[in-house]
A and B are shown apart, each in its own frame.
Chain A
Amino acid sequence: MLDNLQLLFVWAPIINIQIILEGIFVGAVFALSAYGLALVWGVMNIKNLAQGDFVIMGGYLALALSSASVPLPFIVLIVTSVMFVFGWCVYVVMIKRIIDQDMFVSLLATFGLSLLLQQVMNLIFGPEVQTIDMQLPVYDAFDNMVTIPSSKIISLVMAGIIAVCVVLFMKKSRTGQAIRATAQDARAARVLGIDTDRVYAFTFAFNAALCGAAGVLVSIIWVIQPFYGITYSVRTFAIVTAAGLGNLPAVIGAGFGIGLFEKYTGMILGTAYEVAAPVSILLLVLIWRQISMKRNRQVVQ
């Protein structure tokens, strides 16, 4: 561990650039699926444990399309539309029935959905690790100490574009306003003529589409396997808990923060601890929240 710290700050500080870049790439992907989760959680109070599996599903759809040599921009469009429709169907079949139930029902139901998706993907695509190799050039700098594959740059740009679109959509469009209104007070929204059932369906489908977009990016820059969803679920939960619901800039910030934290932990403690990093952040945030809220807490007599 001491060796690794020395390496970072004394022997080869240049590799910090590589790690920061990796962290940013990771964070961009996390931020997308985390924002989807924050929406669903905030608007419908559904904690979607199948979030990571939606991401992987998007990845496999992208894989199937790319093997049919569809160009990347179309892959993103097709995958997000397919996932949107899929999300809508899941809402109608399942989520609609559990939305008024307590928390554990939503956890159990979405956990079941997660298992189902894993097994179906395993049946269709097989258990092998797969990836989309776009054969794009890799840029390097500082005597090959820092390498940046163009696939990661493209995915960062795409994540940025999608994030901007989402922000504008939520702020400006009627549907975005309806979603925000429903999140604030579903009953009042209903009184004012908003079809909250439709808003819920749209929100869930929108989340699935965001996950699908994240999945496309994952399959371009890393590898996918039917059972990898859980790591993405854990990361998105950590990000949303750290950032709080309904706060988009915070979610994006937390996404990048956790991405960087993960990479530095991996560098200093070893790659195996990278997966543990977001969980430890989650724990720290919960402890800190507990302490800071204690000040405001009063005894109810």
Chain B
Amino acid sequence: MKTRRYAAAFGAMMAMGIAGAASANVVGDTITLGSSISLTGKYATNGLHTQRGYDYAVQVINDAGGVSVGGKSYKLSVKYYDDESTPARGAQLAERLIQQDGIEYMLGPYSSGMTKAIAPVSEKFGVPMVEAEGASRSLFTQGYKYLFAVLSTSEQYLATAIDMAAASTDDPSSIKVALAFEGDPFSMDVRAGVVDKINEYGMKTIIDDQLPADLSDMSTTLTKAKALRPDILIVSGHSKGAATAARQIDEMKISIPMIAMTHCEAAKVQEKFPNASNGFLCPTQWVETLSKSDAMFGTAAEWNAGFKAAHPSYSSVPYQSAQASAAVYVWKEAFEAANSFDQDAVRDAIAAIEMETFYGDIKFSENGNNIAKPMFMRQIGADGTYSLVETFDDMVFPRKVDY
């Protein structure tokens, strides 16, 4: 008898639990989004930039009246877990968000690797996820239906550098290119985009080195570059690649006229190696001088000013925060367009979105990546500032460096 009573009580508790979970996403007048984000571990810095971008957008949207669905206005909130920068933990937490906390709408984690670990989970449960920090092309070749990304994919990062090198001469096929890429999925994607362009122009690749994951020394690649004198050097190996490259370019007095690399800002090369980094071309997802705007955040400059006011510790705002805000904005637009909280209706609304934001235009391809926004290229000046370079004419060529 006693056992049965316990069983009944347990059953009742379970039922309440399930009922509680099922409505946890929209309780009262609050819509809760879920995100597993790296607040400790190796992605902690960028994870924090992302979280601040999410939170800033949530605050602005709520202050402006929130999200209106079915004639009622709802506030947004985000439930976070710290994934410790480990993919396995991220996948676990995504499952916990969905199954235990009843989250039905997700924001992405930081980095392609983490997104790769979490996307299969959200896909399995049919939970739409709008992510802002996973750029790897391989995320959008898996046929995921519930994954959407507001940022440009990684093969676009450095491809424009090749366009600019081609514009520097009358005969693009005479250009000699040196490539140094790490072997991780992100850098390999960046490389694929660059190699496509090189082939398109018929340029010659004279150095094609792969950099090791524990990258602290690339002097051999640079020694080769010194001997072979390429017209352009392209490096991609995250922050550590940028830091190592800038340091050794300085030390070895490399005077290649054009050098392009990813993660200049993250590695702060303009502060640490002001001399060598003069003239580096650095891709970025977003610039605060962009002439795009929306009704919620205003222009890019206005978003930038607002974010800086909320977080005075930033001297220059990382693009990671801007795109995180854009992802939250996509959610608001999707809820309002769907005018419903049904997951599939909202998912279809996201897929159909076509909007201009302070972050750039957003329109998703069938695979979920944003195809409306280009990548931007900036050049580091002699005073360490970044200036937007849209065509070859805007850029300082050859780089003016005096060792």
Chain A residues engaging chain B, CB cutoff 8 angstroms: 4, 7, 11-12, 15, 18-19, 22, 26, 122-123, 126-131, 133, 138, 140, 144-145, 147, 149, 151, 218, 222-228, 230-231, 263, 266-267, 270-272, 274-275
Interchain CB contact under 8 A, B223 and A271: no
Given A4-B224, A131-B272, A149-B251, CB of A274 within 8 Å of CB of B45? no
Residues of A within 8 A of B214 (CB): 227-228, 230-231, 275
Other than the given A145-B227, A271-B180, A274-B217, 20 more pairs (CB < 8 A) read A7-B224, A11-B227, A15-B224, A19-B220, A19-B223, A126-B45, A128-B243, A128-B267, A129-B216, A129-B244, A144-B226, A147-B252, A223-B240, A224-B216, A226-B42, A231-B214, A270-B208, A270-B209, A271-B211, A271-B220
Complex contact A22–B224 (CB within 8 A): no
A272 to B, closest residue via Cβ: B210
B244 cross-chain contacts in A, Cβ below 8 A: 129, 222-223
From A133, which residue of chain B is reached at the shortest CB distance? B272
Residues of chain A within 8 A of B8, CB atoms compared: none
Minimum C-beta distance from A151 to chain B (A)? 8
Residue B43 at the chain A interface, CB threshold 8 Å: yes
B40 beta carbon closer than 8 Å to chain A:
yes
Which residues of B pack against A, CB within 8 Å? 40-45, 85, 180, 183, 208-212, 214, 216-221, 223-224, 226-228, 239-240, 243-244, 247, 250-253, 255, 266-267, 272-273, 403
> Residue among B45, B85, B212 with the most chain A CB within 10 A?
B212
Q: Judging by beta carbons under 8 Å apart, are A128 and B45 in contact?
A: yes
Are A131 and B220 also in contact (CB < 8 A) when A138-B251, A149-B251 are?
A: no
Residues of chain A lying within 8 A (CB to CB) of residue B219? 18, 22, 263
Please determine whether B403 and A127 come into contact, CB atoms closer than 8 angstroms. no
Whole-angstrom distance between the alpha carbons of A7 and B230 in the complex? 14
The 8 Å CB contact of A271, one of B42, B45, B221, B250, is: B221
For A227, what are the chain B residues with a Cβ–Cβ distance below 8 Å? 42, 214
Q: Is the CB of B43 within 8 A of A272?
A: no
Bound Cα distance from A133 to B276, whole angstroms: 13
How many angstroms between the C-alpha atoms of A4 and B223 in the bound complex?
11
B42 — which chain A residues lie within 8 A by C-beta? Answer: 122, 127, 226-227
Complex: how many Å from CA A140 to CA B273?
A: 19
Chain A residue at minimum C-beta to C-beta distance from B250: A138
Whole-angstrom distance between the Cβ of B197 and the nearest chain A Cβ? 22
The docked-state distance in angstroms from the alpha carbon of A127 to that of B183 is 20
A170 to B226, CA, bound (A): 44
Partner of A266, one of B45, B220, B247: B220
Bound CA–CA A274/B217 (angstroms): 9
Q: How far apart are B134's CB and chain A's nearest CB, in angstroms?
A: 18
Q: Are B220 and A263 in contact (CB under 8 A)?
A: yes
Residues of B within 8 A of A263 (CB): 219-220
| CB <8 Å contact, A127 and B45 | yes
Q: What is the CB-to-nearest-CB distance from B397 to chain A, in angstroms, rounded to a whole number? A: 21
- What 6 pairs across the A-B complex have the smallest Cβ distances? A266-B220, A127-B42, A272-B210, A12-B227, A129-B240, A129-B243
CB of A7 within 8 A of CB of B220, answer: no
- Complex CA gap A145/B255 in Å reads 11
Q: CB distance A15 to B253 under 8 Å? A: no
Chain A: minimal CB distance from B354 (Å): 38
Given contacts A144-B253, A223-B243, contact A270 B226 (CB under 8 A): no
Residues of A within 8 A of B227 (CB): 7, 11-12, 15, 145
Cα distance, A144 to B211, chains bound together (Å): 24
Contact indicator B216/A15 (Cβ below 8 Å): no
A223 lies within 8 A of B216 (CB): yes
A-B contact pairs, 22 of them (CB 8 A): A11-B227, A12-B227, A19-B220, A22-B220, A26-B217, A123-B40, A129-B216, A129-B243, A131-B243, A138-B251, A149-B251, A223-B243, A223-B247, A270-B208, A271-B209, A271-B221, A272-B210, A272-B211, A272-B212, A274-B217, A274-B220, A275-B214
* Closest partner residue, chain B, to A127 (CB atom): B42
CA distance A11 to B383 in the complex (A): 38
Query: Are B212 and A7 in contact, CB atoms less than 8 angstroms apart?
Result: no
Q: Given the complex of chains A and B, what is the CA–CA distance between A218 and B214 in angstroms?
A: 14
Q: Give min CB distance, A14 to chain B, whole Å.
A: 8
| Residues B272 and A15 in contact, CB atoms below 8 Å apart | no
Task: Provide the bound-state CA to CA distance between A19 and B247, in Å.
Answer: 17
Chain A residues lying within 8 Å of B250, measured Cβ to Cβ, are 138
- What chain B residues lie within 8 Å of A131 (beta carbons)? 243, 247, 272
